[in-house]
Structure 1
Amino acid sequence: MNALTLAYLGDAVYELWVRTHLLELGCEKVKELHHIAIDYVRASTQARLLQKLMPDLTETESQVVMRGRNTKGSHPKSTDVITYRHATAFEALVGYWQLTGQIERMEWAFHQTDAVVADFKAAST
């Protein structure tokens, strides 16, 4: 399947996980949920999460990442090309896991997100 199609699906799956996760953490105010969710879904967080996952990926997963990273397309002005491509690669990987029913693998990756977000916040203060 096309890497951008996988990323399209992965974006939705990851967004749903983030929203559910924040509710499970006890966040209830919509404005607060939105601001915290941005920390999770921004391209730089996804790129850092992918970097953390890379050593533990299978060969097939690494191939999906490479295909996602090498896709051509536009990127938002708020993010550099490399970061955006790595975020797209992460989303493609999530889409791959979703389509192949590897929910436990996806959950393993998602549960590392809190640490990545905390590191990102610490680095920016």
Structure 2
Amino acid sequence: MYEKIYNHRYCIIVVVIIACITACYMLGRGTSGNNNDVQGTVHRVMGDNRKIGKSIDQAVEHIGTAEKEIERADGANRRAAFILSEGRERANEGERIVTELQQGNSRAKQILRDIERANKERTIQK
């Protein structure tokens, strides 16, 4: 077994040297590359966080504006309901007045008929 290794010792030495060179190159390149990538990622994340913060602030402003609009709409709805109830009351009162007037008109017509009948009876009696 030692003879096989001894016969291929130059090949093994070359392979070990190539492996060392490759490892040094990968480790040296990987560290600086990863460091730059990490820094770039951190900066992108920080930028994204700032954008998200601004978006959240804008959303809070929009929510505040929406709350104010909802309060205004709620007030307008309450006023409309009050006006509608007032309108209903007035309509009911108007309907009651119309009914009374119709009853009064019917009574007045009856009185006029009675007067006309009485006048006719007087005319006939004379």
For normalisation by structure 2, the TM-score amounts to 0.20
Structure number, greater radius of gyration: 2
Per chain length, whose mean CA-contact separation is higher, i.e. which structure has more relative contact order (CA < 8 Å, sep 6+)? 1
For normalisation by structure 1, the TM-score amounts to 0.20
Q: Name the structure where helix makes up a greater proportion of residues.
A: 2
